[in-house]
Every structure is written in structure tokens, then in C-alpha cells.
Amino acid sequence: MNLALYREFRPKNFDEVIGQDYVIKTLKNQIKTNRLTHAYLFCGPRGTGKTSTAKIFAKAVNCTHSTDGNPCGLCAECVALSEPNTDIIEIDAASNNRVEEIRDLREKVNFPPLIGKYKVYIIDEVHMLTESAFNALLKTLEEPPKHVIFILATTEIHKLPATILSRCTRFDFKLLDVNTLSTHLKNVFDKRNITYDEKSLYLIAKAGEGSVRDMLSIADSVASFCDNKIDYQSAEKVIGLSNRENIKNILLAIANNDINSLFISIKEAIGAGKNIQVLCKEMADFIKNLIMIKVGVTDYTVLDILPGDFNKYAEIANLFNVNYLKSAFSKFAKIELDLKYSLNPENLFESACLELLSNGQEPKGANEPVNVSIPSPTAPKEDVQKREQTEIEKIWGNVLLRVKENNMFAFSNALTNVNKVEEIAHKLIVHTNDLSSFETIDNKERIDVLLKLVKLFDDSIVGVEVEYDKNNASTQDIKDNLKDVFKSRIKFKE
Ligand SMILES: Nc1ncnc2c1ncn2[C@@H]1O[C@H](COP(=O)(O)OP(=O)(O)O)[C@@H](O)[C@H]1O
Ligand SMILES: [Mg+2]
Ligand SMILES: [Zn+2]
């Protein structure tokens, strides 16, 4: 029987702690330059390395042969501190939150260490202490004996009194990005002779949601389900309907203006254990992906999707136009903070979703009125042109309706990104500045459909052409921004 992965792969020195570079570098420096303080506070989400780092630090301050701040693991101190001992004291505040325990600690604190230079108290989940326990701890923190170092760890920094915060050197542990996680997972699997494919690796890394511990626990379940030969289908089965699936359903409900399934999808997402604030953030992230796809990003690592999933996302992206997605994105990004303080976050979230179903009748990009531009006022024979232009607009409106009625979803949605139609020499010229819509429309069969439909209303039209107005592409600003952020990692299909 194997040890759980997250136990087997607990980092033994600073260099094995992944993804917390700033914290690790600073701690190492303090050890190398012997500038220690008496109280540290490690805060951040669960499974990001707080306890592991605290244990390494406790050894490192006592190691007599440390190199580059790391405990050597071989000296008498390191060896003795690897066994159960009285110098590194771990207190789980979640189970020892009574004031007596801390009073007890206050007495014992005065006894000098037996093994090395320092006694180190690691108080985990310190936010769970009662008020009187905090006060007792505070007294010790005010005048700690020279040989004592406290490391307080918490996932909920906001629950700590300011008096404690002000006495500690604070370190923030961060959630890890999916690339760091999948690289780590690859190492772990290779060491354990667990086989996998890239896609499963990425799926499991994603499911960890930034926590190494959660990722390794999930990896454990997947590996044992697959008998150490991981395949994508089984991985997906074990991980279950991913959060993405929930979000996708919410968006599809919005796209279909289907209030009923909108509420059902939200309920399902919450039922799957999603906190509303997290759901909202994921919603914003998902929409951000769609926006990037709209502007031509194809690299899955930039998009933060699974390899091979591009088409699935592109299909959803096609249901909406870029401006719509932009406003949806800012809506969810905006309410994310409000949700934290809302007494009824569920209602707030639902109302944001409902607002995206426009006015109960014209939902999503697909049915938004097409924005047909009026010809340039400097054009000759202005009156005649305007009349003709209105004619064309009317015809175009009818054509759109037919496309929609025929359930040609991708097509109809691409057509909503048409921002100008005009008639030149009995040809209907359709302009769009949205590249992916252009590519959807610019297809022989679809152009034929358009021509047939147009002819229903005006038989004098003999052809339809679609033009991509590259220069006033509404997406250009977004592309420039993305280039700024991702530099050479980003590729646009042009
Ligand atoms: N930054 C990290 N680098 C490497 N492994 C980690 C890291 N964070 C967590 N782990 C893995 O998760 C397990 C639990 O981590 P732990 O340090 O207890 O997290 P925390 O105290 O932040 O909840 C470790 O044994 C290790 O397997
Ligand atoms: Mg911990
Ligand atoms: Zn040592």
C-alpha cells in the first residue's frame, strides 16, 4: 500500500517547495544572514506549502551545516529534529483552541531547547484560537524568550486581531498556476511509475485549483481508479463534471435566453459545492477565454484550457459577439467583490445573469439588432442612397430572421457581427470587423444560403460577398493589450 502522494511528496528542503519563490528566497536570506525574527505569520490558501515550509524553516534555523539556507539533513541537529522531539512543537489551533493550552505553552516556552539553538512553535490554523487564547498568546509574543521562534499559519488572515498581525513578519503563500502544478505532477507520476497522457496531466493540475495538496489528492484517486495507468476518459470520470461544465451550461442558458435552464444551471453549480464568489470568478475567467478566442488566440496555455479543447470553446465563443462578451466580463468582474459582502450573494449573481438576457425578448449576441451603418454623408446623391440603404437594412433584417429560424446557430451568431451591409452593382456586400465571424460567413454554402434568402426579398441581387474590415477591427485594442501582457507567447491566427 502506497503512502498518499501528498504525504510522500512533502518537500524536505526549501528547494523542493514549488511556486513560492518570494517567500522561500526571503526566508533563506534571513537564515544565511542570521537575521531572524521571533514571530512569523504564514498565510494563504490550503495546500500551498505553509506547514511544510514552517517545518523546513524550524530545521534550518537549527542546522549547523546549512547550505544556501537549506537544512543539510545530515548534522546531529537535523537528524534529531527529524525524529519526534520537544524542540519543534506543532499545535493545531483547530483542536487546541482553549485558553489553557496557550497558558501551558506560555510556561513551557521558558525552558531552553534540548537539541539546537531554537525552540520553534508552529501554530497551525491560528485563526481558530479563542479570544482569551489570543490574549494569552499575545503576552508571549510581546516578550518572547531569545530561544523561541513562533510560526503562525492560517488560511484566514482576516480573522486575526491586529495586535497579533502587528507583531509578526508576514509571508503570503500564493495559489499555484496550472503550469507549475502540471510540471510538479509530471515529476511525481514519473517517480511513482504512474503513466499518463498530457491531457490528463493538465486536467488533474487544473482540478487542483491552485493547491498542490488538492491536486495530489485528486491525482491519488485518479491513479488508483486507473490502476496507475491514467487515461483521459477515466480521469474525467473521476474528477466528475468539471466546474467548467457548470459554467458552460450557465452561458448556454444565457445564449438561448432560457431562464428556466439558467436557474437550473446555477443551482447545479452551487449544488456541486461551488461558492458563489468562486463561481463568479470562474465565470469571468471563462468569458475572458472566449474573448481571447474571438480575437484569435489559439495557444491553450495562454487560454488556460485543456489541450484539444479549443474547438469546444470556439463553438461557445461563436454564440456571442465580442462586445457582448466584454460587457459580460466586466459585469462578473465587478460583482465579484460585492458578493463577498452581500447578504444574499446568490441573488446578486442570479440578477447579474438575468441582466445578460436582454429585456426578456432579444437575448444574446445572436438576436441583437444588427448594427447597420449609414453611408458616409459626403457621398453623392445622398437622398437616394439613404433610401436604398434603408431598403437594404430591411432586407438584411429579414434575412437574419430566416437564418435564425432555421436554427443555424453558428451562422446566425456570426452574422450578428456584421456591422455594415451595402449594395454595389447588384451585389450585397457584407462587412464585418470580427475575424472569426468573417471566417464563418466566408464559406461557399453559407454565401449561397444568404444569396437565396436575399433573392426572396429582392430578385435584382445577383451575388453576396463578405468583407473583413481589418483596419477598423474592433478587436484590435484587445489584441494590443494581450500582446502587452503575453509578449511573444501569444499568437494570433491572421
Ligand atoms: N509549495 C509546495 N511545494 C511542494 N509541495 C507542496 C507545496 N504546497 C503543498 N504541497 C504538498 O501538499 C502537502 C500539504 O502541504 P502543506 O504544507 O501542509 O500545505 P498548507 O499548510 O499550506 O495547507 C505537502 O505534503 C506537499 O505534498
Ligand atoms: Mg497546513
Ligand atoms: Zn543540518
- Pocket test residue of 41, 48, 191 for ligand 1, highest count of atoms within 8 A of CB: 48
Taking the centre of ligand 1 as the mean of its atom positions, its distance from the CA of residue 52, in whole angstroms, is 6
Contact 174, 44 (CB under 8 A): yes
Model pLDDT, residue 241: 47
Cell numbers placing 257 = 435566453
- Greatest Cα pair distance, the chain, in angstroms, is 100
* CA distance linking residue 462 with residue 254, whole number of Å: 37
Percent of the chain with pLDDT over 90: 35
Q: Which of 35, 67, 40, 34 is nearest to 53 (CA)?
A: 40
Note the ligand closest to the C-alpha atom of 70.
3
The b-or-e profile of 394-418 (16+ CB within 10 A means b, else e) is ebbeebbebbbeeeebbbbbbbbbb
All residues with CB under 5 Å from ion ligand 3? 63, 65, 71-72, 75, 78
The residue whose CA has the least distance to atom 4 of ligand 1 is 17
Model confidence over 200-245: pLDDT tens digits? 999 899 888 899 998 998 898 889 888 999 998 888 777 754 557 7
Taking the centre of ligand 2 as the mean of its atom positions, its distance from the CA of residue 84, in whole angstroms, is 18
Write out the CATH class of domain 5-172.
alpha beta
* CA distance linking residue 12 with residue 82, whole number of Å: 10
Model confidence over 61-79: pLDDT tens digits? 999 999 999 999 999 999 9
Taking the centre of ligand 3 as the mean of its atom positions, its distance from the CA of residue 70, in whole angstroms, is 8
Q: Where in the chain is the domain with CATH 3.30.300.180?
A: 382-468
Q: Which residue pairs, CB below 8 angstroms and at least 24 apart, start in 58-61?
A: 58/88, 58/118, 58/120, 58/122, 58/149, 58/151, 59/88, 60/14, 60/27, 60/31, 61/31, 61/36, 61/116, 61/117, 61/118, 61/120, 61/149
* CA distance linking residue 190 with residue 156, whole number of Å: 35
The correct answer on CATH 1.20.272.10 for the domain covering 247-360 is yes
Report the topology of domain 178-239.
Answer: Helicase, Ruva Protein; domain 3 (1.10.8)
* C-beta of 291 in contact with ligand 1 (< 6 A): no
Contact 238, 268 (CB under 8 A): no
Model confidence over 436-449: pLDDT tens digits? 888 889 888 888 88
* C-beta of 52 in contact with ligand 1 (< 6 A): yes
Q: Which of 148-157, 235-244, 254-263 has the lowest mean pLDDT?
A: 235-244
Model pLDDT, residue 477: 57
Model pLDDT, residue 243: 58
The correct answer on CATH 1.20.120.1230 for the domain covering 382-468 is no
* C-beta of 12 in contact with ligand 1 (< 6 A): no
- Pocket test residue of 52, 53, 211, 215 for ligand 1, highest count of atoms within 8 A of CB: 52
Does residue 360 have a pLDDT over 80? Answer: no
Place of cell 526566508: 27
Q: Where in the chain is the domain with CATH 1.10.8.60?
A: 178-239
Q: Where in the chain is the domain with CATH 3.40.50.300?
A: 5-172
Taking the centre of ligand 1 as the mean of its atom positions, its distance from the CA of residue 224, in whole angstroms, is 21
Q: Where in the chain is the domain with CATH 1.20.272.10?
A: 247-360
Contact 270, 319 (CB under 8 A): no
* C-beta of 9 in contact with ligand 1 (< 6 A): yes
Model confidence over 338-358: pLDDT tens digits? 887 788 888 889 888 888 875
Taking the centre of ligand 3 as the mean of its atom positions, its distance from the CA of residue 72, in whole angstroms, is 4
* C-beta of 49 in contact with ligand 1 (< 6 A): yes
Average model confidence (pLDDT) for the chain?
83
Model confidence over 153-166: pLDDT tens digits? 999 898 898 999 99
